[in-house]
Chains A and B, each alone.
Chain A
C-alpha cells in the first residue's frame, strides 16, 4: 500500500527540534567543544584532543584519582540509599491505612518532605545536626555518642544518608501505596480463607502488584541519589576533607573553583554517559522482566 507522503509534516516537528537544539544539543556541543581544548582565559583555546579524557580515566593521574574516588563515593551512597529507602518505603506503604480519614492524613504527612526545596532540606539538617545548637546533634552527643559531621567523616555520611532517607523515603512509600491501592479487598479476604501467612500475602499478592512501581521507584531513587549535589553541598560542602565530595560537587569545584573548563567538560560528558548507560540498563532489564512475566 502506498502511504501518502507529505513533507510538510516536518514543519510540525520543527518547533520541537528548535527547542531541543537550543536547550540541549547546543549546550552539550559547547561542553564537547570545551572538553577537547584547553584555555588559559582571554578566550584563547588550544586543541587538546582526547587528552582530558585519557587523564580522567586513568586513576594514577591527579584528575583521574579525584574522579574515581568521587565515583566510588557516589556508588556507595546510591547503594546505601537504595538498601535503606526501598525496604523502608515498602514497609511504610504496607503499614499505611487503607480506609477512612487516616488515609488523607497519612498522605499529607508523607508528602510534606517531598515539597521542601533541596537547599532548604540541607539547611534544616545542617542546623538540626549541629553538635552545639542542633537538637539532634546535641542530643546524640549528650547520649555519649561522639557525633560531629564537620570533623568526622562517618558522622558526615550518617547525616547525609539520614537526610536523604528523611527527604525521599516518602516517594518510594507513595509509589508503593499507589500499587497496593489497586488490590481489591477480596484478595486479602481470599488469602485469609486460604490460610495464607503474612509473608505469603506479601509475596503473592502485594509484591506482584507493587512490582512495576517499585522498579520505577528504584530507578528514580538511583538516578537522583547518583546526581546528588545540593544537600551535601549545603551541609558539609564535600567535607570533612573530601569524604563527602561526590562527582557533582567535584565537578563544580573543578569548573567554578579552579576554572579548569576542559577537565570539567570532559568530566561532565563522562558523568552524563554513565547516567545514560545506567538508565539504559535499567530500562532494558525492566522491559525484559515484563516480557518474561507474560
Chain B
C-alpha cells in the first residue's frame, strides 16, 4: 500500500549536466496514487525505463526525491523498498522449480515453513501455475516464464507497487491479450499500484486507468485514455496516440478563427493574444474531420487517396497543399477529387510551440 511521490525528480547520466539536453529524465513532479493502474507510454529512449528504475531503486536519481507514503526512500537500495519489478525479458532461475522460484523472494526475507508454502500456493493459483509448480523453470514457454517473474513480485505480501518494463515484448501476440487481462484482474483483486511501461499505445490504453505520456525525457500529458484522445496536451501526444495520428497544420490564430493557407477554420474557444514568436499550429484528429461533397460548407480540400481500413475509410486529403487525414462517411460518394472537410470546432485545438493553448471559454 503506498502512494509514490516524485518531487522535482530528474536524472542525468552525465556527472555535470548543463542544458536540458543533458538530462535523460528532465526534472518533474508527479504523484502515483495508491491502487492506481498507470501506463507510462512513450517511444524508445524517452526516459521511461530510467524513471522506472529510479522508482524501484535500481538507479539513484541525480536530483530530487522519491517518497513512498511520505517517507523519503531516494537513497534506499531496491531490497529495502517494498517494490517489485517485471522486466522485458522473463527472469527465471533456471536451476529451480517453479515453486522454488516463487518461494525465492520469501526465503530471502527469512520466511519458512507453512506460511511460505501457503503464500506460494495462493499466488500460483492466482496465476494458473499450480499444475507447473514442480517443473523446472528452464523448460517453460515465454509467457509462463513471464508469469513466474510476475509471481515473484506478487508473492511478497508487503509489496506496495509492481513496475512492469515492457513485459509483453517477447510474448506471442495471441497470448499478449490473455496475459494483459490477467494483469487487469490481478490489479482489481489485489489493490496494488501498478506502473506499466510500454511503447505500444494499445497496451497502454487498455491496461491503464491513467496514462502518462513521455517524450524526450519529459512527461507531456497525464490523463485518462479518453482525455489523451480528445484533448492532447502536446502535438506529440496527438501524433503518438491514435492511428492515424492527429493532423497538425501551421496556422494563424486570432479570436475564434484559425487561418490555414487562406481558409478560415472556426474554433470553439477564443484566443485573443497569442505570443508572436511562438510557432502556432492547429491540431484536429481524423475522427473529428469528416469528408463531405464539394460545396457542403467547411473547407475545400483535394482528395488524394482513400484507404479502406475495413470498418472505416480514411481519406488522405490536401488542404492548401498541406496533407491531412479525414474520416469518410459510409454513404459518401465523390465526384472527382474536389471535396469539402467538416471540422468539429470543439475538437480543433491550438498549439504554441507544440503545447496546447487553453482558449477562453465561450
Contact of B87 (CB < 8 Å), options: A190, A196, A204, A293: A190
Complex CA–CA separation, A196 to B84 (angstroms): 13
B219-270 with Cβ < 8 A to chain A: none
Check A193 against B83 for contact (C-beta < 8 Å): yes
Check B79 against A193 for contact (C-beta < 8 Å): yes
A44 interface residue per 8 A CB criterion: no
Check B85 against A193 for contact (C-beta < 8 Å): yes
Q: What residues of chain A lie closer than 8 Å to B138, measured between beta carbons?
A: 294
Complex CA–CA separation, A187 to B87 (angstroms): 9
Q: What residues of chain A lie closer than 8 Å to B152, measured between beta carbons?
A: 190, 194
Check A193 against B108 for contact (C-beta < 8 Å): no
Complex CA–CA separation, A210 to B93 (angstroms): 14
Q: Can you name the residue of chain B whose Cβ is closest to the Cβ of A196?
A: B108
Check A193 against B104 for contact (C-beta < 8 Å): no
Contact of A194 (CB < 8 Å), options: B53, B89, B94, B104: B104
Check B93 against A189 for contact (C-beta < 8 Å): no
Interface size grouping (class) on chain B:
20 to 34
Q: What residues of chain B lie closer than 8 Å to A194, measured between beta carbons?
A: 104-105, 108, 152
Check A189 against B58 for contact (C-beta < 8 Å): yes
Check B87 against A192 for contact (C-beta < 8 Å): no
Complex CA–CA separation, A195 to B109 (angstroms): 7
State how many angstroms separate the Cβ of A232 from the closest Cβ of chain B: 40
B57-110 with Cβ < 8 A to chain A: 58, 77-79, 83-85, 87-89, 91, 93-96, 104-105, 108-109
Q: Can you name the residue of chain B whose Cβ is closest to the Cβ of A192?
A: B78
B56 interface residue per 8 A CB criterion: yes
Q: Which secondary structure dominates chain A's binding surface?
A: helix
Residue from A194, A195, A200 whose CB has the most chain B CB atoms within 10 Å: A194
B149 interface residue per 8 A CB criterion: yes
Check A204 against B93 for contact (C-beta < 8 Å): yes
A57 interface residue per 8 A CB criterion: no
Check A190 against B149 for contact (C-beta < 8 Å): yes
Check B87 against A186 for contact (C-beta < 8 Å): yes
Q: Scoring A residues 197 to 208 as 1 if CB is less than 8 Å from chain B, else 0, what string do you get?
A: 100100011001
Check B95 against A189 for contact (C-beta < 8 Å): no
Check A192 against B89 for contact (C-beta < 8 Å): no
Q: What residues of chain A lie closer than 8 Å to B56, measured between beta carbons?
A: 193
Q: Scoring A residues 273 to 294 as 1 if CB is less than 8 Å from chain B, else 0, what string do you get?
A: 0000000000000000000011
Complex CA–CA separation, A7 to B18 (angstroms): 77
With A186-B87, A190-B87 as contacts: A195 and B108 at CB distance below 8 Å: yes
B47 interface residue per 8 A CB criterion: no
State how many angstroms separate the Cβ of A204 from the closest Cβ of chain B: 5
With A195-B79, A195-B108, A196-B104 as contacts: A190 and B94 at CB distance below 8 Å: no
The 8 closest A-B pairs by CB, nearest first: A190-B91, A195-B108, A186-B87, A194-B105, A192-B78, A195-B79, A204-B93, A208-B95
Binding site for A on B (CB under 8 A): 53, 56, 58, 77-79, 83-85, 87-89, 91, 93-96, 104-105, 108-109, 138-139, 149, 152-153
Give 10 A-B pairs besides A189-B58, A294-B139 with Cβ atoms closer than 8 angstroms. A186-B87, A192-B77, A194-B104, A195-B108, A195-B109, A196-B104, A204-B93, A205-B93, A208-B95, A293-B95
Please name 19 pairs of A and B residues whose Cβ atoms are closer than 8 Å in the assembled complex, sorted by A: A184-B89, A186-B87, A186-B88, A186-B91, A189-B78, A190-B87, A192-B78, A193-B58, A193-B85, A193-B105, A193-B153, A194-B152, A195-B79, A195-B109, A200-B104, A200-B108, A208-B94, A293-B95, A294-B139
